[in-house]
Chains A and B, each alone.
Chain A
């Protein structure tokens, strides 16, 4: 078991080292999932160099303090606090209508919180979506929002627009500087597609891609904006076990790029095996925050989140969440 690198203890390398042990297919998950491709290590390394996101700061990057969102008489969020550190993966779970997506919209400047504030590296989050992206926060959408009639490569290239600042004159004249930045963008797009494993679909229209690959393409497009924080809204919705596992590997690799990640998911098992910290949102309020183990064992979560008899469900959760890498749990499930 010691050579099994797939653990959820948050050590920054385990996401990619799995790739080195491809013959050991069972290392991927407790379920018998085989041949999950993690992003190639050299691509990850090159991308990390290109993006140079990690700054090594100990200060939290993204902080939400006392965020409250009121829609007329409905209080969608009340007093939600979050602090995301560099290289951290935070999970946000909660029943439908708990305010998870609303919270994402507050984090990305789509909504202005009624009270409270969101800061990125100590600065107030801009209210203009484009400025938010420029500041280094990228996101994906619960309902995939790719540019359907553009190729995979073009979708990623559009993500580069926020980093390419040339006026219309310069782009019409196609000067040397313009060409260089176009070539760089094309190169980056190629690397990003390799990173998410979509090289073979680079010239395919986005709408023709399989569903799971559309989600991966959306992630590649988000990464093209050089984000320091990536917000993923239900990245595994509608995926089978194998695709889900591949997504987990991908998110680990994204963390290895130096990007800090916040994930919304319904799949608690996925969250518990992925995240360093988990926040439970219930009816707009932060119910519990802690490590996957703490959250999983918390009777309030079981009760409020699942709304079912505590004993039964907590037992379910324990077995369901057992895949998070504890050696004994691995053994048990096999």
Chain B
């Protein structure tokens, strides 16, 4: 008797865990860009959410206007092509943004690039609204992965869509790869050196401008991939998706310890889980799920201002 009542509850709980992990992986992928840019130039790039949005539209444009229908509807062609296209579009926008909006302000007071970031964010949104055909409303986005879901037979059944699994796996693989890149390679070493003492890095023959461009490019590409995966999972995209998820991702980066790759991933997953479980179990339901995210942020920052993985001291000469 007891067990019969327990299983539906358990299946709801597990379903929300699964939802949380999918959303969290997506946020983590965006948060990586925030955290890397901050690590290098201590700029909170508020336009990063828009890079994610532009990436999604770049993927959609490729599917809609460039690929022949036969290819665009065959997932094993469409998925990699759309991901690469989204990544490239987002990367180009991110690099252009650095070059034309932030680089001229490299030595300006820190408030100047921050305000510029907000301006770039609005500009990208509005440019998309004006120039992308039909973007004034949400646009349908095809599922680019195998239809269907894994159903775990517990209670009413725990349904996890294949595209959700793809999202989780891709996000973890990319984050892991990025961490390896930063920790193990020469370019990664140059990035860390630039982030810790830019003048001395320059003295050692590292060109900070190139490192900064590389950082924006990597962050942009990851956001582009996230954009296409988001569209593929939710099956529609809109102009506001960047703002909303950008805020989550920024929060995730801060929660994990801004500047830290592992922190961005953990922060993203925590936020995904809090949103899913908070919407299910806490008073107010999904209408209040945003509230719980920021409550968690505030609680964490009160007790650990540097975030989960952040270094409490930043040594700067």
Taking CB atoms, residues of chain B closer than 8 Å to A162 are 204-205
B216 to chain A, nearest CB (A): 14
Taking CB atoms, residues of chain A closer than 8 Å to B203 are 129-130, 132-133, 139
Within 8 A of A (CB), among B159-186: 185-186
Known: A145-B317, A147-B192, A150-B193. A158 touches B214 (CB 8 A): no
Within 8 A of B (CB), among A141-163: 141, 143, 145-150, 154, 157-159, 161-163
Taking CB atoms, residues of chain B closer than 8 Å to A171 are 185-187
- Measured CA separation A248–B45 after assembly (Å): 48
- Measured CA separation A146–B192 after assembly (Å): 12
Known: A164-B186, A168-B187. A147 touches B193 (CB 8 A): yes
Known: A147-B200, A171-B187. A161 touches B192 (CB 8 A): no
- Measured CA separation A149–B187 after assembly (Å): 16
Within 8 A of A (CB), among B184-216: 185-187, 189-190, 192-193, 196-197, 199-207, 210, 214
Taking CB atoms, residues of chain B closer than 8 Å to A159 are 204
Q: Are A149 and B205 within 8 A (Cβ)?
A: no
- Measured CA separation A300–B103 after assembly (Å): 52
| Binary contact track A306-321/B, C-beta < 8 Å → 1, others 0 | 0000000000000000
Known: A145-B200, A147-B197, A171-B187. A158 touches B206 (CB 8 A): yes
Question: Does B311 have its Cβ within 8 Å of any Cβ on chain A?
Answer: yes
Taking CB atoms, residues of chain B closer than 8 Å to A166 are 186
Question: Does A182 have its Cβ within 8 Å of any Cβ on chain B?
Answer: yes
Q: Are A161 and B185 within 8 A (Cβ)?
A: no
B98 to chain A, nearest CB (A): 16
Q: Are A145 and B202 within 8 A (Cβ)?
A: no
Q: Are B205 and A134 within 8 A (Cβ)?
A: yes
Q: When the two chains form the complex, which single residue of B196, B201, B204, B214 contacts A148, counting CB atoms closer than 8 Å?
A: B196
Question: Does B315 have its Cβ within 8 Å of any Cβ on chain A?
Answer: yes
Known: A129-B199, A130-B205, A225-B204. A161 touches B311 (CB 8 A): no
Taking CB atoms, residues of chain B closer than 8 Å to A154 are 189, 192
Within 8 A of A (CB), among B302-317: 311, 315, 317
Q: Are A172 and B187 within 8 A (Cβ)?
A: yes
- Measured CA separation A162–B190 after assembly (Å): 11
Closest to B317 in A: A145
Query: By the criterion of a CB under 8 Å from any partner CB, how many residues of chain B are at the interface?
Result: 23
Q: Are B186 and A133 within 8 A (Cβ)?
A: no
Closest to A134 in B: B205
Q: Are A143 and B204 within 8 A (Cβ)?
A: no
Taking CB atoms, residues of chain B closer than 8 Å to A221 are 204
- Measured CA separation A143–B193 after assembly (Å): 17
Q: Are B187 and A161 within 8 A (Cβ)?
A: no
Within 8 A of A (CB), among B276-317: 311, 315, 317
- Measured CA separation A221–B317 after assembly (Å): 17
Q: Are A129 and B202 within 8 A (Cβ)?
A: yes
- Measured CA separation A132–B205 after assembly (Å): 9
Closest to A155 in B: B193
Within 8 A of B (CB), among A125-141: 129-130, 132-134, 139, 141
Taking CB atoms, residues of chain B closer than 8 Å to A178 are 186
Question: Does A207 have its Cβ within 8 Å of any Cβ on chain B?
Answer: yes
Q: Are A161 and B190 within 8 A (Cβ)?
A: yes
B247 to chain A, nearest CB (A): 28
- Measured CA separation A207–B197 after assembly (Å): 13
B207 to chain A, nearest CB (A): 7
Taking CB atoms, residues of chain A closer than 8 Å to B315 are 148-149, 207
A224 to chain B, nearest CB (A): 8
Most buried by A among B187, B203, B205, B317: B203
Known: A129-B203, A154-B189. A147 touches B214 (CB 8 A): no
Known: A129-B203, A130-B205, A150-B192. A145 touches B197 (CB 8 A): yes
Taking CB atoms, residues of chain A closer than 8 Å to B187 are 168, 171-172
Taking CB atoms, residues of chain A closer than 8 Å to B185 are 171
- By a beta-carbon cutoff of 8 Å, the part of chain A in contact with chain B is 129-130, 132-134, 139, 141, 143, 145-150, 154, 157-159, 161-164, 166, 168, 171-172, 178, 182, 207, 221, 225
Instruction: Kindly list the 4 A-B residue pairs having the minimum CB-CB distance in the complex, ordered from nearest.
Output: A162-B205, A148-B315, A147-B196, A161-B205
Could you pull out 7 A-B pairs where Cβ atoms are within 8 angstroms? A143-B317, A147-B196, A147-B201, A154-B192, A159-B204, A164-B186, A207-B315
- By a beta-carbon cutoff of 8 Å, the part of chain B in contact with chain A is 185-187, 189-190, 192-193, 196-197, 199-207, 210, 214, 311, 315, 317
Beyond the given A163-B205, A164-B186, could you list 10 further A-B residue pairs with CB under 8 A, ordered by the A residue number?
A130-B205, A145-B197, A145-B317, A147-B201, A149-B311, A150-B196, A154-B189, A159-B204, A168-B187, A178-B186
